């Protein structure tokens, strides 16, 4: 049943070469006007519902405690769309990616629903799909094996009869991403940071993945390389992939994404459409998203006081209560539900 990842070499090569050949590299962010509400009719390729994640920890080797890092988290990713995930450090972005890929540490306890292509994504299915239908472009380039030649890492394990074909494809992709022919024989330590990122992107492209999760692929890149990197994701989405782009860079996310999910302390506070950020962010639904908008350089970096609650700071109300400018007394009790509003989602009692 799960042999969709099976490759028909000739057909596959033709379509994938087309994917990497001569695409327009601009990132104007022009998109069809699909909004979350309209898209509801289409089935999500990835559906995460009410996900919770905790780690079992032992203090002084005696007492066992549960550290909850993700709670009641729901997101959907659609074919042909880029979903950006933004949020402060420690809000659970990478852990969500690791949960989808099935690469969490053994002391992690995962609850809730993850569905891929309409079926539950069990640990077994995650392992089968990883690096094939579902690809991760990891946050740290140290994920590359330091002792393996680049070409072998990008191509991965393939049957002998497909090796020649994959090699040809890898060379086309490297050319497309300005990686010189000698890069394929190099070891990771010989690459610059930018080259290593392009190698990681190539790994996702060659795998013909349908769901691509890129974890912070752009930090420290100059403007050109940033736009170039973003254009790779745009290409992937244009070819029908569902792309999840995890980033701190909201401006970059706004250039290419369709939807922006805002994470805070391990949950989603808002899923906005990119259009909602226009007109001074007037259509944004949550005070935190508005605060993020105000903190952008063009909006004079107006930050808000306070910090995201730590995992062990128990809150009995809205998770954003302490920092909220719109809070009411009732917000200090009970967690607001994630609800649909104006073609997006919001977790706020006062949003209407």
Is 170 among the residues that bind Ni ion (CB under 5 A)? no
Is 47 among the residues that bind ligand ATP (CB under 6 A)? no
Question: The tokens of 330 are what?
Answer: 């009732």
Concatenated DSSP letters of 146-197: TTS-HHHHHH-S--GGGHHHHHHHHHHHHHHTT--GGGGG--GGGS-HHHHH
Compare residues 204 and 213 and give the one whose CB is closer to Ni ion.
Answer: 213
Q: How far is the CB of 54 from ligand ATP (least distance, A)?
A: 9
Q: How far is the CB of 87 from ligand ATP (least distance, A)?
A: 6
Question: The tokens of 234 are what?
Answer: 């745009």
Q: What is the footprint of Ni ion within residues 66-95 (CB under 5 A)? A: 93-94
Compare residues 1 and 62 and give the one whose CB is closer to ligand ATP.
Answer: 62
How far is residue 116's CA from residue 253's CA, in Å, rounded to a whole number? 24
Q: What is the footprint of Ni ion within residues 90-109 (CB under 5 A)? A: 93-94
Phi first, then psi, for residue 226 (nearest 5°) are: -60, -50
How far is residue 79's CA from residue 81's CA, in Å, rounded to a whole number? 5
Is 29 among the residues that bind ligand ATP (CB under 6 A)? no
Is 138 among the residues that bind ligand ATP (CB under 6 A)? no
Binding segment (CB under 6 A) for ligand ATP, from list 9-17, 83-91, 114-122, 340-348: 83-91
Is 218 among the residues that bind ligand ATP (CB under 6 A)? no
**8-state DSSP, 305:** S
Looking at 6, 41, 63, 105, which residue binds ligand ATP (CB under 6 A)?
105
Phi first, then psi, for residue 225 (nearest 5°) are: -65, -35
Looking at 92, 102, 317, 344, which residue binds ligand ATP (CB under 6 A)?
92
**Residue reference for tokens 């086309």:** 172
Residues interacting with Ni ion, by CB under 5 A? 93-94
């Amino acid at each position: 049943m799960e042999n969709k990842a099976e490759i028909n070499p000739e057909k596959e090569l033709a379509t994938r070469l087309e994917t990497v050949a001569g695409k327009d590299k601009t990132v104007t962010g022009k998109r069809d006007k699909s909004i979350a509400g309209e898209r509801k009719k289409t089935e999500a390729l990835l559906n995460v519902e009410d996900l919770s994640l905790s780690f079992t920890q032992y203090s002084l080797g005696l007492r066992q405690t549960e550290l909850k890092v993700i709670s009641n988290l729901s997101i959907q990713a659609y074919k042909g769309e880029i979903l950006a995930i933004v949020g402060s450090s420690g809000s659970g972005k990478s852990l969500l990616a690791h949960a989808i890929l099935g690469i969490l540490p053994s002391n992690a306890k995962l609850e809730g629903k993850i569905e891929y292509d309409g079926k539950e994504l069990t640990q077994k299915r995650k392992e089968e799909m990883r690096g094939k239908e579902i690809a991760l472009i990891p946050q740290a380039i140290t994920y590359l094996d330091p002792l393996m030649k680049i070409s072998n890492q990008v191509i991965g394990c393939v049957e002998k009869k497909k090796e020649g074909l994959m090699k040809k494809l890898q060379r086309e992709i490297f050319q497309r991403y300005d990686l010189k022919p000698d890069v394929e024989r190099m070891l990771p330590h010989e690459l610059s940071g930018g080259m290593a990122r392009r190698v990681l992107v190539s790994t996702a492209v060659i795998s013909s993945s349908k769901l691509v999760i890129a974890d912070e692929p752009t930090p420290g890149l100059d403007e050109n390389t940033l736009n170039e990197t973003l254009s790779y994701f745009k290409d992937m989405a244009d070819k029908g992939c569902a792309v999840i782009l995890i980033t701190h860079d909201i401006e970059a996310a706004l250039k290419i994404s369709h939807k922006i999910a805002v994470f805070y302390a391990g949950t989603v506070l808002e899923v906005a459409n990119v259009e909602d950020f226009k007109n001074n962010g007037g259509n944004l639904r949550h005070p935190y998203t508005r605060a993020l908008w105000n903190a952008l350089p063009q909006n004079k970096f107006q930050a808000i006081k306070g910090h995201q609650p730590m995992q062990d700071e128990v809150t009995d109300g809205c998770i954003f209560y302490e920092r909220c400018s719109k809070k009411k007394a009732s917000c200090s009790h009970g967690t607001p539900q994630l609800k649909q509003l104006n073609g997006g989602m919001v977790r706020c009692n006062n949003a209407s």
